[in-house]
Amino acid sequence: MVTDAVLNHAGREWGWVALRGVVAVLFGLMAVLMPGITLSALVLVWGAFALADGIFALIAGWRIRDQDKPLWPLILVGLTGIAAGIATFAWPGLTALVLLYIIAFWAVIGGVFQIAAAIRFRKDIENEWLHGLSGALSIVFGALLLFQPGAGALALVWVIGVYAVLFGVLLLALALRLKNHAATPA
């Protein structure tokens, strides 16, 4: 069970969760509305998205404390995103297939930790299922990329864009729940 202190911290730090959601929605909309984007541009834009998401998750995980310790699932999601973003910038000439696998594993690993966080919050916040649903969406997205790697670049851009928009909307909904929890007197 999550302590009141963790929920209070999470409620005060809802803005970091919201910022992750906004970045994801903006990235997703760009990918959907500009599907003709070149693969090299997609690689760089995705690297920036993964890096920004990782940084914001890391900040949130560090600031949301549980018995004076960082919230480890968010720390791991953050480190995974930062690593994926750095790898993308370090080797921008990666083939589409390698990028696809990086995105797929990032989504699956991040999804597992988001579900872990949702389970942890399940008895303490209302509609924690939003966080669990975003984790499940990440796992399904990652699995689709792993098992259907032959999809064309245009389809990949659209799938990534739709995923990012849905993921961002769910994070924004979670942020509002956290904000409302912080506003509720104990």
| Number of domains forming the structure of the chain | 1
Q: Which residues form the domain of 63?
A: 4-183
Residue 96: its pLDDT value, please? 60
Strand partners, 70: 65
Residue 25: its pLDDT value, please? 94
Cβ(138)–Cβ(115) below 8 Å: no
**Mean pLDDT score, 18-41:** 82
pLDDT in tens, 126-164: 777 887 888 999 999 888 888 877 665 567 778 888 988
Percent of the chain predicted with pLDDT > 90? 15
Burial class (CB within 10 angstroms; exposed 0-12, middle 13-18, buried 19+) of 24:
buried
More confident site: 25 or 156: 25
Instruction: Say how far apart CA 128 and CA 146 lie, in whole Å.
Output: 28
Tell me the pTM.
Answer: 0.57
